[in-house]
Amino acid sequence: MIPVISAVLFLLALMRLPIFVVLLAASILGFYAQDIPFSIIAAEIYRLTDTPLLVALPLFSLAGYLLAQSGTPNRLVQITATLFGWMPSGLPIVCFFICAFFTALTGASGVTIVAIGALLYPALLKGGYRKPFSLGLVTTSGSLGLLLVPSMPLILYGVIVQQMGLSVRFEMNDLFWAGILPASLMIGLLSAYSIWANRKHKVAQDRFTPRSIKRVLWDARWDLPLPFVVLGSIYSGLLAISEVAAMTAAYVVFVQLCLYREIPLKALPSIVKDSAIMVGEILLILAVSLALSNVIIDAEIPSRLFDVTQQFIDSKYTFLLVLNLFLLALGMLLDVFSALMIIVPLIVPVALSYGIHPVHLGIVFLANMQIGYFTPPVGMNLFIASYRFKEPITVLYQSTLPFFLVMLASVLIITYVPFLSLAFID
């Protein structure tokens, strides 16, 4: 029956049907083949709606959409260019941090390239940085932040794995802490490369003045508390992730509508609608993918996959290498949400059999997804950047190659040094 299901899935995918339709069809076929009542699908949807953590997704999404439509990206660029633009490679380094935070908040790398990259790219060129370097930086930075809370892919990975009822248990906060060192490693290596690549770049002589600092800080006075409130509340444990999401959304709505007044009240329903549609698509896919996970488990596909894998791979480290290659290719072809929901139920049990902690696996998974977004020839961010900056796709290939190699090195370190992911886990 498995070959039949696979053939149907492939046919439906070729027809370009929505991913939830493909997954739902696979679930129904699997339940029918195993004589399982279809009511399980409804039960899985209810089980998903009963997960308190999912309240955070639409709230963080709304906050991210509002920030993308406001003047916040422009103010972030102005304040960082003023404070750090005079330093050697100061502007590129700050770009990594801005994009990482924005991607973590919105959960969408394409939004970061359009909203932040469109501001950073001209700023880098104006600062005297070479065009290929600037283009590669903004394209690469668009996917930074998937490892950092409140990234939706990070939260979704935790929800999916916790629903699987594995023998190795972990708290969601463990996953949040696990991304700090790996993300810092990536940004650190990218920053080191930027300093080396621009070692002959002449630093701007117009150093910041007290007046310019005061001006940009005053302009961003309502934006600056946001990252400290969000991250401080989560990592301190004072508030649950859903409470932080509610506070973040309320704060952003109040600031943008009442203080900055950059988003008119009549535009709010449209932004809420766009945000809700995206989250609704994700939740619908997640619901049917959980139903499909039951089919996969009942058919003992993970154990069979492990048996086949062991015939060719008897080492944990070899398995990790093959997994990286597989995930890298996967990141080119699928968006991170589809990849999470389709692949995670398959690989997590196999990885556990090799003694890989599910938290470490999640960080490795998302780190590869970050690279897959701009891996030639079909990485999604390459085409977004090509369209946004009006550059041929071949130019994007060349511009992102050095950054790709740096990120690949960081992923290998993250993969083979699990301490980076598990250092803060009890």
Domain region containing 330: 37-422
**CA atoms within 13 A of residue 364's CA, in its CB half-sphere:** 29
Question: Tell me, what's the pLDDT at 423?
Answer: 92
The CA-based angle 112-362-154, given to 5 degrees, is 40
145-165 pLDDT, tens per residue?
A: 889 888 888 988 988 888 777
Query: Considering its fold, how many domains does the chain have in total?
Result: 1
Interacting residues of 181 by C-beta distance below 8 A, sequence separation 6+: 420, 421, 423
List, in sequence order, every beta strand (DSSP E) within 346-417.
Answer: none
Residue 28 belongs to some domain of the structure: no
**CA atoms within 13 A of residue 14's CA, in its CB half-sphere:** 6
Q: Using CA atoms, how far apart are residues 235 and 241, in angstroms rounded to an integer? A: 10
Residue 18 belongs to some domain of the structure: no
Question: Tell me, what's the pLDDT at 379?
Answer: 77
As given in the structure block, the two tokens for residue 186 are: 């990536």
Question: Tell me, what's the pLDDT at 133?
Answer: 92
Q: Using CA atoms, how far apart are residues 152 and 55, in angstroms rounded to an integer? A: 11
Residue 409 belongs to some domain of the structure: yes
Q: What burial class does residue 238 get, using C-beta atoms within 10 Å of its C-beta: 0-12 exposed, 13-18 middle, 19+ buried?
A: exposed
As given in the structure block, the two tokens for residue 138 are: 């903004």
Residue 13 belongs to some domain of the structure: no
Residue 171 belongs to some domain of the structure: yes
Residue 139 belongs to some domain of the structure: yes
**CA atoms within 13 A of residue 295's CA, in its CB half-sphere:** 27
Residue 170 belongs to some domain of the structure: yes
144 and 103 Cβ atoms separated by less than 8 Å: yes
Interacting residues of 92 by C-beta distance below 8 A, sequence separation 6+: 124, 129, 133, 137, 191, 194, 198
As given in the structure block, the two tokens for residue 348 are: 């997590």
In the chain, helix, strand, coil percent, each to 5?
75, 0, 25
Question: Tell me, what's the pLDDT at 410?
Answer: 96
Q: Which long-range contacts (CB under 8 A, 24 or more apart) does 191-200 make?
A: 191/89, 191/92, 191/93, 191/96, 193/402, 193/403, 193/406, 194/89, 194/92, 194/93, 194/133, 194/137, 195/88, 195/89, 195/93, 197/133, 197/402, 198/88, 198/89, 198/92, 198/129, 198/130, 198/133
187 and 95 Cβ atoms separated by less than 8 Å: no
Residue 16 belongs to some domain of the structure: no
Ranges under pLDDT 70 in the chain: 1-6, 8-10, 12-14, 16-17, 19, 44-45, 47-53, 85, 106-111, 114-115, 201-208, 290, 293-294, 296-303, 305-306, 333, 378, 426
